Chain A
Amino acid sequence: ESNHASLIPEEGKKKVPGLQGRWDAQSHELLRDFEATLLHMFGLKKRPRPSRSPAAVPRYMLDLYRLQSGEGDESGGEIAFEYPERSASRANTVRGFHHEEHMERVHELGEGEATPLRFLFNLSSIPEDELLSSAELRLYRQQIAEAGGDDNKTGLHRINVYEVLKAPRPGQLITQLLDTRLVRHNASRWESFDVSPAVLRWTRERRPNHGLAVEVLHLDRTPRRRGEHVRVSRSLHQEPGEDWEQLRPLLVTFGHDGKGHPLTKRTKR
């Protein structure tokens, strides 16, 4: 007796002499219904057809899965963040969103003022019965090595993340500060910004939103290599080995649909 199951039921595989055509039609229908039942169980209306193969899966989502399922203990310390227990303890679903790149906008506010970049996220795939508990915007910052300089004295950046409250007008962007951080450009790492107040309201009200704006201020006014540290937009000339799909800003939502338990961290079975 085999203990390796196939999801294709045995009944669908039988062939009866003289009734080949009818069995093929029946088995096809059976498979289709079976697949529909399974997809419904997973909360999907139709079978996903990824547009790319292999699919571009953000490393953060993969690492979250490994940490939650206990496989992170075997990864040999490759995962460079702690499992977000607080967010995950209230969620059974985590979703990752990249911004709509074709709608990316730089808003020139005036001479001497920092230029924020606006990001729009399409959150329409979040079901109505899924209640979000938190959301974070993850930005990657790439180390800038100072030639002949003291890294501890230069390279201070202030990163501000805003919610855009109204449709932008030329020279005007109405925003509300959500989170801020002071960083130094002598390290490469991901930064997480709490954007829960904005994203939770967007999904609760289910109305179009005006997106998030990210502003990067160079505090020591170093003119060299501006705009290179915090990776908020695609480089004109991609560096060898760079994968923009893995470096681009990522909006992560934590929610619960009322079915099942939260994604608390598990030890490997």
Chain B
Amino acid sequence: SPKQRGRKRNRNCRRHALYVDFSDVGWNDWIVAPPGYQAYYCHGECPFPLADHLNSTNHAIVQTLVNSVNNNIPKACCVPTELSAISMLYLDENDKVVLKNYQEMVVEGCGCR
């Protein structure tokens, strides 16, 4: 029978779960909703050669190529490439209720840049 292979851990640049909880700093007294939200974060390697699915730019490809021959130039970084907004319901400094849309709060996609 074929040898069972262990699953390789994917270390490449990708999105990871990150739940931000407002109650940790006691902000749940003025933030009515949501109690927290899934923000995500980007982390992982940007290895040479950069694969297409790593969502990179031509510049990142060039930089990674240069890094492969010169360590003084850093590799491309795994960063958010697309972000989305969340809406929050809260009480402001004057005790008035506000519903507001905040941009760039959730990572939708990561890439090597």
Partner-B contacts on A (CB < 8 A): 3-8, 35, 41-51, 53, 55, 57-58, 61-62, 64-66, 68-69, 92-97, 122, 124-125, 259-263, 269
Contacts and interface: CB of A to CB of B under 8 A. Distances in A.
B97 interface: yes
B73 interface: no
B85 interface: yes
4 tightest A-B CB contacts, nearest first: A260-B103, A48-B30, A94-B99, A92-B101
Contacts of B99: 61, 64-65, 68, 93-95, 263
Contacts of A3: 16-19
A94 B100 CA distance: 6
A260 B95 contact: no
Nearest to A68: B87
Interface of B is mostly: strand
B52 interface: no
A49 B24 contact: no
A50 B95 contact: yes
Contacts of A66: 33
Nearest to B86: A69
Contacts of A6: 21, 24-25
A8 B103 CA distance: 22
A211 to B, nearest CB: 17
A55 B22 CA distance: 16
Given A58-B97, A68-B99, A125-B96, A47 B30 contact: yes
Contacts of A58: 97
A7 B30 CA distance: 16
Contact of B97 (A7, A68, A96): A96
Interface in B43-62: none
Given A3-B16, A61-B97, A8 B102 contact: no
Contacts, number: 117
A contact patch SS:
loop
B33 A62 contact: yes
B82 interface: no
B101 A62 contact: no
B89 A263 contact: no
A93 B103 CA distance: 12
Given A3-B17, A260-B102, A44 B93 contact: yes
For A8, A64, A94, which residue has the most chain B Cβ atoms within 10 angstroms?
A94
Given A50-B29, A53-B29, A4 B103 contact: no
A151 B64 CA distance: 78
A7 B84 CA distance: 20
Interface in B64-113: 85-104
Contacts of B85: 260-261
B8 to A, nearest CB: 18
B32 A62 contact: yes
Given A58-B97, A260-B85, A5 B103 contact: no
Contacts of B27: 7
A269 B34 CA distance: 13
